[in-house]
Structure 1
Amino acid sequence: MSASNTTDFTNPSTFILLGIPGLEVAHVWISIPFCAMYIIAILGNFTILFIVKREPSLQGPMYYFLYMLAVSDLVLSTSTLPKMLSIFWFNSREINFSACLTQMYFIHCFLVIDSGILVAMALDCYVAICDPLRHSTILTNPVVAKIGLALLLRGGMLVLPYPFLARRWPYCRTNIIPHLFCEHMAVVKLACADVRISSYYGLSVAFMVMGLDVFFIAMSYIQILRAIFRLPTKDARLKTFGTCGSHICVILASYIPGLFSVLTHWFGHNVAVHFHILMANAYLLMPPMLHPIIYGVSTKQIRDRLLRLLTHKGM
């Protein structure tokens, strides 16, 4: 065993990110889809930001929330992917202790913000379908701004104890993290102390955020479906439901990988380590890549604006 594994230290200056234990020889090949997902996420979300900013017809609550989601996804993916790729390509495994805690904070903070934005989008769909005449008076620009600020504060405050608790634990066993990024519990498990506070708090936040947000989204869509089924014709029902189709796809793309990641992390003790890590990365990488694709394909206004831009550049 190397000296770095056995030397006692209470304030490590650096952590070592192993990458994907057991799949080290395949790191270069694994980096190809990771890099592709990052490029798609960057290009797709910047395209969404550009179109929503430039197109006057897209100045409404749904598109403001989509703008927020694109910003959040850009921060989330950029917090993790560059370091992952440096591990894959250059074997650059060291990360400063403070940088590790900062990465931890941004990852979990913006996961919470992403989830909250999906709830806000469900609220927008609910008001637009169940009370369309008051939509513009209920979700005014100041209200949307306050919702965005509340979501930012919720994410920032809920996750703030993560790095503070992690910083106060003594790390006297090892500074090697068997992961691609500074995931909260992967770091805390290295501490040689009773870390049940961090463990229980992390589990509580994960289930509280995911559970409450999914509950509010489900309640919104129950009311939406009730309103849709009261419409007189099948065409009207399909057209109305189609307005929320992209949001439903985004919800599935966001929560299904997250649910599998949480369940395998907490209850899949017999699951291979590399599978845990791949699921955690799917939770981080897939939604930022899929969100702009889903909205770009399914939202007519965005699709038409993008086609006009491409046609104009082609000419």
Structure 2
Amino acid sequence: MSPVNDTKFQPALFFLTGILGQEDLYVWISVPFSLTYVTSIFGNLLILFIIKTDPNFREPMYIFISMLATTDLGLTISTLPTTLGIFWFNSKEISHDACFAQLFFISSLSFTESSVLLSMAFDRFVAICNPLRYASILTPPRIAKMGLVSLLRGVVLVFPLPLLLKQYRYCHANILSHSYCLHQEVMTMACSDIRVNIIYGFFITVSSVGLDLLLILLSYVKILKTVLSIASHAERLKALNTCVSHICVVLLFYVPSISLSVIYRFGKNFSPMVEIVMGHVYLLVPPLMNPIVYSLKTKHIRVRIIRLFIK
């Protein structure tokens, strides 16, 4: 094929969409989005600052919370430039390379967060089911290795996706339905055979996120069996209360993630607005709510925040 024809089939840009049909209201829509981003960044930085500066927060549970806050911070920053660029400046164009880079960070950090949530479930499992060996099992070096493996798994699994996308030709309108780039949608813009991306994307989702969720559920089955074997009702409540925050965070992450996957694969009859809303919920709500959940439900973090602002 001649170079002239290649350029015909290879547009240099993708076009992002904010909220379809609401362009006249972008100035007002930008207000809640801006507040969400500011709150997410401030909340996660606050959690990290408290855990970093207070020597009382050296327990494994708080180290895992700091890992979760770091991942949420990365997810927030990954989507912030394009989302606010649309609502503030109506800037909808994004180059192929920038789009592939953004979807790489979004996907790899999502897989990393799933791994961190699994590590937190393991932490609660050991703390309740084997408390006498808690300190010897979850040592600082072992926790550091768990965090590193979580990050590397996300990077290694997702790394082939943008490389494959870069090889394809794009001859469709290249108009994306979100204010950021998602692999599930970008690959459908290609004119080339994308079966490798479909199969590999499905495989890594099932083998990582699906497996993580299954192991989290199994850990809570074991935790529930252990808690029910405790004679004292007060001790049961105390044990379960230590898991409430993690359960809330797991639901905040997996419910939107699974819902968005179902919409992409089976939701041909859904309204486009449902897909847009779920796309924003999937990436904006967990980083916003996770610091709030841990601030409200974890007594030591709550007390530390109160002391920080009320001398």
- Give the match for residue 278 of structure 1: 277
Deviations along 1:142-189, whole A, 9 cap, x unmatched? Answer: 100110011011100111111011101011233332321111122111
Task: Give the match's secondary structure for 1:15.
Answer: strand
Contact between 1:76 and 1:110, CA under 8 Å: does it hold in 2? yes
Equivalent residue runs for 1:158-173 within 5 Å: 158-173=157-172
Distance 1:49 1:73 in 2: 11
Q: Aligned partners of 1:59, 1:122: CA distance in 2, in Å?
A: 18
| 1:209 CA drift (Å) | 2.5
Q: Flag structure 1 segments of 5+ consecutive residues without an equivalent.
A: 1-5
Name the CA distance, whole Å, in 2 between partners of 1:179 and 1:294.
Answer: 27
Asked if residue 254 in structure 1 is aligned to residue 248 in structure 2, the reply is no
Counterparts of 1:198 and 1:153 in 2: how far apart (Å)?
Answer: 20
- Which amino acid in structure 2 is aligned with residue 143 of structure 1? R
Alpha-carbon shift at residue 257 of structure 1 (Å):
1.2
Moved more, 70-79 or 256-265: 256-265
User: C-alpha displacement at 1:10, in angstroms?
Assistant: 4.6
Aligned residue number for residue 3 of structure 1:
none
**1:30-84 superposed Cα distances (whole Å, 9 cap, x missing partner):** 3222222111111110000000001111101111111111111011011002210
Q: Judge conservation of contact 1:22–1:274 (CA < 8 Å) in 2.
A: no
| 1:164-313 alignment, distance < 5 Å | 164-312=163-311
Q: Report what 1:96 is aligned to.
A: 95
More deviation, 253-262/27-36: 27-36
Question: For the Cα contact (< 8 Å) 1:171–1:192, is it kept in 2?
Answer: yes
- Which aligned pairs between 1:138-149 and structure 2 lie closer than 5 A? 138-149=137-148
1:13 maps to which residue?
A: 12
Secondary structure in structure 1 of the residue aligned to 2:32: helix
Q: Give the number of equivalent residue pairs.
A: 307
CA pair 185-8 structure 1, distance change in 2 beyond 3 A: farther
SS in 1 for 2:94: strand
Whichever residue aligns with residue 71 of structure 2, its letter is S
Residue 36 of structure 1 is matched in structure 2 by 35
Distance in 1 (alpha carbons) for counterparts of 2:8 and 2:297: 53
Correspondence for 2:152: 153
Kindly state the Cα deviation for residue 24 of structure 1 after the two structures are TM-superposed: 2.9
| Conserved? CA contact 2:172–2:190, under 8 Å | yes
2:84 maps to 85
Structure 2: distance between partners of 1:120 and 1:90: 40
Closer/same/farther in 2, CA of residues 174 and 7 from structure 1, 3 Å limit: farther
Pair 1:117-2:107 in alignment? no
RMSD across aligned positions (CA): 1.6
1: CA distance between counterparts of 2:299 and 2:31? Answer: 31
Contact 2:184–2:264 (Cα < 8 Å) also in 1: no
Shift of 1:204: 2.5
1: distance between equivalents of 2:233 and 2:136? Answer: 29
